[in-house]
Amino acid sequence: MDVLGRDEIIHYLNGGNDVELFAAADRLREQSFGREVYLRAIVEFSNFCNKKCNYCGLRAPNSNVNRYRLATDTIVESAISAAEAGVRTIVLQSGDDFSYSSAQVEQIISGIKESHDVAVTLSLGDRSAAEYEHWFSCGADRCLLKLETTDPVIYRRIRSGADFHERLELLLSLQDIGYEVGSGIIVGLPDYTVEHLADDLLFLSKLELDMIAAGPFIPHPDTPFYFAEAGNIDLSYRFTALARLLNPFSNIPATSALDSFDSEGRKKGLLRGCNVIMPSVTPVSKRKDYNIYPGKNAVSVDVTDTISRAEKLVYALGFTLSASKGSSRRMNNVE
Ligand code: 5AD
Ligand code: SF4
Residues 177-194 pLDDT 10s? 999 999 999 999 998 999
Residues with CB under 6 A from ligand 2: 49, 51, 53, 56, 58-59, 95-96, 125
Residues 13-55 pLDDT 10s? 999 999 999 999 999 999 999 999 999 999 999 999 999 999 9
Distance 94 CA to ligand 2 centre (A): 9
Helices (H), the chain: 6-13, 18-33, 72-84, 102-115, 129-137, 152-158, 164-177, 194-206, 233-246, 256-261, 265-270, 284-287, 303-316
pLDDT of residue 297 exceeding 80, the answer is no
Mean pLDDT of the chain: 94
Distance 18 CA to ligand 2 centre (A): 32
End-to-end CA, the chain: 30
Distance 103 CA to ligand 2 centre (A): 23
Cβ within 8 Å of residue 260, ≥6 positions away? 218, 293, 294, 295, 296, 298
Domain boundaries, the chain: 6-320
On whether the CB atoms of residues 72 and 112 are closer than 8 A, the answer is no
Distance 315 CA to ligand 2 centre (A): 33
Position in ligand 2 atom list of the atom nearest CA 56 = 3
Helices and strands in the chain, H and E counts:
13, 9
CATH code for the structural domain at 6-320: 3.20.20.70
Distance 64 CA to ligand 2 centre (A): 15
Of the listed ligands, the closest to the CA of 159 is 2
Closest CA to 126 of 80, 61, 171: 171
Residue-level pLDDT at 259 = 82
299/276 Cα distance (integer angstroms): 19
95 lines ligand 1 (CB under 6 A): no
290 lines ligand 1 (CB under 6 A): no
Residue-level pLDDT at 335 = 46
Residue 257 banded pLDDT, cuts 50, 70, 90: confident
